[in-house]
Amino acid sequence: MHMMVFRPEQWVKPMAVAGANQYTFHLEATENPGTLIKDIRENGMKVGLAIKPGTTVEYLAPWANQIDMALVMTVEPGFGGQKFMEDMIPKVHWLRTQFSSLDIEVDGGVGPDTVHKCAEWSGRALSFQSKLKTAPYHLGDLRQATQPP
């Protein structure tokens, strides 16, 4: 569950009760990430930590060994249909080199023209949301775009 909310602390228990198995929150939305990470774990969920484009990836680093997944936003959160921000790919690469076993996801503006860049830099999970709704291509096309030549 990717929670793009203020005060993500208030939604941990309701999401756990609803059956969520992972809770991803934005680092910028909380004043105490360590306490929130602990609360998520105590409620039986995996922990995901997202950063917005304007947040340095090093800001996430102190928490990387306490989380299951890092999410690099490749658009500004909250507005669908934005163009992929290619200058976010170095963040994915940095995380991959510093924390090789960490799951890394990217979210925003990912489509056939950008999916190969994400896969190349080891963004293992990609979010397509509005691209799949509006584009004239199929999931198979996106899968093919991530395969080596």
Per-residue model confidence as pLDDT tens digits over 33-61:
999 999 999 999 999 999 999 999 999 99
Residue ranges of domains in the chain, CATH in brackets: 2-110 (3.20.20.70)
Note if the pTM is more than 0.75.
Answer: yes
- The residues, ordered by sequence, that sit 6+ positions from 93 with a Cβ below 8 Å of its Cβ are 121, 122
What is the distance between the alpha carbons of residues 148 and 61, in angstroms, rounded to a whole number? 30
Q: Work out the percent of the chain whose per-residue pLDDT is above 70.
A: 77
Query: Cβ distance 89 to 54 under 8 Å?
Result: no
What single DSSP character describes residue 80?
A: T
